[in-house]
Amino acid sequence: MDDREKKVGLAAGDEGGPSGEGLEKLSGVEPRGPADRPAGEVGLREMPGDNNEDAAGQAGGETEGAGGEPAAGPGEAPGDDDRERLARMLAEEKARAEDYFNRLLRMQADFENYRKRVAREREDLLKYANEQLIMALLPVIDNFDRALSAKNDNSEKLLAGVEMISRQLCDILAKEGLEAVPAVGEQFNPEFHEAVMKEETGDYPENTVTEELRRGYLYKGRVIRPAMVKVRG
């Protein structure tokens, strides 16, 4: 093979031709690794285009984001609009709380006045409970005064006046719920009668009231004073 054919084989890179490493040996130049290459020189196998483009895109995105409006992070303070909204909400809640407090004060004052009024009315009711009874007894007192002023007159007229006063007084008390306890001829009842004496008589059955020594009274069905009586033994 002549020198021209060797040159063509080397240029075509056929299978029989020497590799790049063999060429370097033939030319007297030692093969170089990545560390032996000058700065800035990159081999074809060490230049992945896609990764470089992605890295460039990310770098561009970060640069663009730095120049734009950054999003608020979790620890970042609220903006002016948020502060104004919060201040308005706080003012509304303060006004509502003050209104509730004023209502509570008015209700408490009204209840205190109501309590005092009820206590005063109750006191007046107990104090003047017998007012109507006293007013009803005033005419009786007037009649007693008239009877006493006529003591030098006829005794029969005086007696008739006193009897009239007694009936008037009993009528007034009966209207208030007062009534006399039945005694003479009634079977002795310790709830209504108080036996102070016993006597033997054939006019009444045994254990029967024979005489009333002091009248007893009921007030609206309740015994306020038992009758003092004699009982046949």
In a domain, 56, yes or no: no
Give the pairing type, strands 227-232 and 193-199. Answer: parallel
Q: Higher-confidence residue: 112 or 79?
A: 112
What average pLDDT is seen over the chain?
75
The dihedral region occupied by 181, where left means phi > 0, alpha psi between -120 and 50, and beta the remainder, is beta
pLDDT over 80 (residue 219): yes
The dihedral region occupied by 28, where left means phi > 0, alpha psi between -120 and 50, and beta the remainder, is left
230 lies in which domain range?
178-233
**Dist. CA 179–CA 165, nearest whole Å:** 17
Say how many domains are in the chain: 1
Q: pLDDT tens for residues 167-216?
A: 999 999 999 899 999 999 899 999 999 999 888 877 888 889 999 999 99
Which residues, in sequence order, are CB contacts of 199 under 8 Å at separation 6+?
210, 211, 230, 231, 232, 233
CATH code, domain carrying 220? 2.30.22.10
Q: pLDDT tens for residues 70-108?
A: 445 555 555 778 899 999 999 999 999 999 999 999 999
In a domain, 208, yes or no: yes
Give the tokens for residue 138. Answer: 């005033």
In a domain, 183, yes or no: yes
If 0-12 CB within 10 Å is exposed, 13-18 middle and 19+ buried, where does residue 18 land? middle
In a domain, 138, yes or no: no
Give the tokens for residue 157. Answer: 């007229």
**Dist. CA 112–CA 192, nearest whole Å:** 48
pLDDT mean over 148-175: 83
